[in-house]
Amino acid sequence: MKPTSKASEPATPAPPQVGASPQQAKVPSNPSSAAAPVAPNPDLDRAKDIAGRITSKYPGSKLEWVKPRRLKVSVPLGIIKDVAFFARDSLGFDHIGTVSGVDWIAKSSLEVVYFVGSTTPGQEGFVLALSESVPRDDPVVPTLIDVWRGAEYHERETHEMFGLNFQGHPDQSHLFLPEDWNDLPPLRKDYVSPGR
């Protein structure tokens, strides 16, 4: 596989379509229209600060959305492990929450999102969502078990449900699906449940 910029280019802008929704745009504008001085939100500022530290260190990465205590950063192919180590060691995001896949079938890409919490005092309420998009026909991503050991079973689940191949994962056998499952990964959008 060659992580050409051509392949990743259409894949990366897929999520912002949803992220840059009217609802997200409304959140900051709402209070400003109701009351002239915008109430300071330290949680939002801190989330923005964390996002700034990631995007300035890794130029290819992109802030998808930021809310109080939540931020989502998408990174280009190939550097997610570096960003993950940086987030764990320098930003204090050391507690894996869960791993999710999203099938953007219209954009022909698969997204994998790591939701990472923190045990750093004062930062427990913050969750970093770190995402990476890969082409749907060649869904290979590196495993992040070295960074967060707890990601092992979550990645295994994402593998069987979305067909994402986590390179370096010790065991990608089925966790929830039957051993003899012989169909498309069920959470892909082109898999239709029986009876539908």
Binding piece for another protein, criterion CB under 8 A, among 5-13, 34-42, 46-54, 176-184 = 176-184
- The count of chain residues that interact with another protein, using the rule CB under 8 A, is 54
DSSP helix/strand/coil, 113: strand
Residues 6-35 as x/- pattern, contact with another protein by CB under 8 A: ---------x-xxx-xxxx-xx--x-----
Residue 143 touches another protein, criterion: CB under 8 A: no
- Minimum distance from residue 163 beta carbon to another protein (Å): 14
Cα 62 to Cα 110: distance, rounded to the nearest angstrom: 17
* CA dihedral for 185, 187, 189, 195, sign (positive or negative): positive
- Residue 123 identity: Q
- Choose which of 62, 72, 107, 136 interacts with another protein (CB under 8 A): 72
Write the CA distances from 174 to 19, 38, 142, 178, 191, integer angstroms: 31, 50, 18, 7, 17
Transcribe 55-95 into DSSP letters.
Answer: HHHSTT-EEEEEETTEEEEEE-TT-HHHHHHHHHHTS---E
Q: Closer CB to another protein, residue 142 or residue 154? A: 154
Under rule CB under 8 A, residue 92 binds another protein: no
Residue ranges binding another protein (CB under 8 A): 15, 17-19, 21-24, 26-27, 30, 64-65, 69-70, 72, 94-98, 100, 102-103, 113, 115, 117, 119, 124-125, 127, 129, 148-154, 157, 161, 173-180, 182, 186-187, 193, 196
